[in-house]
Structure 1
Amino acid sequence: MRKKFLQDEIENELQSSDDEFYIDAPENDRLDSDNISEESDSSSGSDIIVTKRQGTIPLPSSSSNSAEDENITQPGNFGPWQDVTCHDQVPDRILFTSGDKMVGPQIPDTCTKPIDFFKLFFTDELIIQIVEQTNNYARHKIAQKRLSKRSTWHTWVDTTVEEFTAFLGVVLNMGPITVSNIQEYWSQQFNAKIPFFSSIFRRELCLQIFWMLHLHENDPNDQTLRARTQKVRQYLDYLDKQLKEQFVPSREISVDESVVRFKGKISFLTYNPKKPTKWGIRIYVMADANTGYVYSILPYYGSLTSEDLVRPDLPVTTRIVLHLCQKLLDNNPGYAVIARMAALDGLPFRVIITSKDLRKGLEARGFQNLPTFTSTIQNRILMYCEKVFDNFTAEVQCLREKGRRFSLTFDEWTSIANKRYININIHGYLDGQ
């Protein structure tokens, strides 16, 4: 009984599905070919017996060009086919301008050698700062140690800018040459000797600089994540600043995620099995889509990354993109001027958009690519306020570290739109005022 029930159910489904692909034919046009394969079907080993539909013909082919085929009216059809395709109207693009600079590299004509291009980003100022921090850190660590008679730190001498520059060259050449450990680069064996490294540096001196390399002074009393990341944050911020100074991106830019290979012990180490580099440090980058030049970077420090981003009311992924775009807009001072005019001077958004004299005056002063929508101005003001707030917070924090004291007062302020706000006022003495 169960088998017969399944057969009847399958037959009903097949018959119902055939209605979508067959139409009834006239009595005089019935085809005799429907029963040709009846015997072969019944002799098959299948338990499913499909009944043949009588008096049906297939739908006409779409390639038929006859007038009769075009006028066939199916049951339930209310008329010939009508083309209802509509084409979207592509909006006009906003005119792109790069301000008073040309799109592309902004490098001086004196850059002719590879070392000149390297020093555009790794400047002498940065090298001097790293040398000072490394020497201070080495003296402090050696003073804390109880050195044995054979300790290598008895021979430590403060490194110089020339030695550190040579150290950078040695480290960069270690990248494409893979050996089992760092000591093998100075191997004297005939089948493993690499003359370059021993001719530039003594192994002992290179390892000393490598072990004492330091970028920022430590605060032993502060063991928070922000303090630990501060060791490299200033260096990365300086590199980000140099990246933006040496290039002006084109109209097409992209924001993507990059991973720097690393397997050390840090709390914000990331793992992504779908990436070619699975273990490493995540860095969000803004790049020029035409050349691939990295214009700005945002390292991922875990929860600290979201604390420093703009617009806390939005999702983190959106805030990352806005933060990188804000760095691009910061190079165009026109947005800062408009934000101050609207927030401090109370200039209405409508005046900024519609006033031709105002826009011509700003363009004459070099402010290009001015906003043309009120929502754009509002977003720029919010971003600019976040930037001002961050700068003010950093200034107050710096004064607190110098021993300055402040007092706080709370006040209520009502806007023109009758919205009430709570203000926090900071009072203190700065330079006798």
Structure 2
Amino acid sequence: MSGVWVRAFPPEEKEVFKPYDELISPRNMPDTNAQPVAYFYLFFTLNLMKQFVKETNRCHELIIHMCMIAKTFIATIGANSRVHIWLKHGQLNIKEFKEFIAVILNMGLIRKPTLEQYWKTPWFREMFSRNRFQLILKFLHVVNNKTIPSKGQQGYRPDAKFKPVIDHFNMRSKYLYKPSQKLSIDES
């Protein structure tokens, strides 16, 4: 009996494909004549920006507070440190955070070999100083470090510091586009 093939299961039923009976498209979109920034705000919401501002300011305050407690403020943060710019300028606010994001996005469009090279372009200098930008970048946070377990502790997650951003974008994606049950796997 070798060499003879025998079907070991019943034949598959032929699937009858029905035409799609629903309109599949994005939901909750801005008007077709809306400015491009309206599409940006679909994902980068005011609540997300407030979270970044709050936690960035908290991170700065924590570092300054720790230095003052250790009485090493002057030793750790010298007289010429950029941190003094933060103290002089004040806390990060929503307007400045939007400018920070605009600078980051423009850095993706305009290629320069070093960070300092961007501030040779007038637009970047008009937004804010390079030192202020670097300070915001240094303290940029979206979660309170005290609320997440450290490496080696129970419940530690390597993505904990940016997971809220991923969760936010996933939630916004579902709000803006929910695939139908009738779509194939690669479209969901």
Q: How does 1:25-424 map to 2 (within 5 A)?
A: 90-93=14-17, 102-110=23-31, 112-145=34-67, 146-156=76-86, 157-187=90-120, 194-219=121-146, 222-224=150-152, 226-249=156-179, 251-255=182-186, 288=187
Structure 1: distance between partners of 2:42 and 2:101: 15
Quote the offset at 1:95 in angstroms: 6.8
> Match of 1:46?
none
Structure 2: distance between partners of 1:142 and 1:153: 9
Quote the offset at 1:177 in angstroms: 1.6
Partner of 2:100: helix, strand, or coil?
helix
Structure 2: distance between partners of 1:109 and 1:160: 26
Structure 2: distance between partners of 1:124 and 1:110: 19
Structure 2: distance between partners of 1:109 and 1:221: 40
Structure 2: distance between partners of 1:253 and 1:173: 36
Structure 2: distance between partners of 1:118 and 1:204: 26
Partner of 2:145: helix, strand, or coil?
coil
- Encode CA deviations 1:151-177: one digit per residue, 9 max, x unaligned: 111121210000000110110010122
Contact 2:30 2:38 (C-alpha < 8 Å) held by counterparts: no
Root-mean-square deviation (CA, aligned residues, Å) is: 2.5
Paired residues in the alignment total 161
Q: How does 1:10-29 map to 2 (within 5 A)?
A: none
Q: Counterpart of 1:198 in structure 2: which amino acid?
A: R
The structure with the largest alpha-carbon Rg is: 1
Which stretch shifts more, 244-253 or 202-211?
A: 244-253
> Match of 2:3?
none
- Encode CA deviations 1:232-286: one digit per residue, 9 max, x unaligned: 111101110101111233544444xxxxxxxxxxxxxxxxxxxxxxxxxxxxxxx
- Encode CA deviations 1:72-114: one digit per residue, 9 max, x unaligned: xxxxxxxxxxxxxxxx97421367565xxx4101134557110
Structure with the higher helix share, 1 or 2: 2
Quote the offset at 1:126 in angstroms: 0.6
Percent identity between the aligned chains? 25
Partner of 2:169: helix, strand, or coil?
helix
Unaligned regions of 5+ residues in structure 1, if any? Answer: 1-87, 188-193, 256-287, 289-294, 296-433
- Encode CA deviations 1:218-238: one digit per residue, 9 max, x unaligned: 137632483341111111011
- Encode CA deviations 1:93-148: one digit per residue, 9 max, x unaligned: 367565xxx41011345571100011011100110011101100111112223321
Structure 2: distance between partners of 1:253 and 1:202: 49
Contact 2:53 2:94 (C-alpha < 8 Å) held by counterparts: yes
Contact 2:59 2:139 (C-alpha < 8 Å) held by counterparts: yes
Contact 2:30 2:39 (C-alpha < 8 Å) held by counterparts: no
Partner of 2:160: helix, strand, or coil?
helix
Structure 2: distance between partners of 1:162 and 1:241: 24
TM-score (norm 1): 0.34
From the superposition, tell whether residues 248 and 140 of structure 1 become closer, same or farther in structure 2 (CA, over 3 Å): same
Runs in 1 of length 4+ with deviation above 3 angstroms?
Answer: 94-98, 108-111, 224-228, 250-255
Quote the offset at 1:209 in angstroms: 0.5
Partner of 1:209: helix, strand, or coil?
helix
Structure 2: distance between partners of 1:205 and 1:172: 17
Q: Counterpart of 1:149 in structure 2: which amino acid?
A: A
Structure 1: distance between partners of 2:149 and 2:103: 35
TM-score (norm 2): 0.75
Partner of 2:157: helix, strand, or coil?
helix
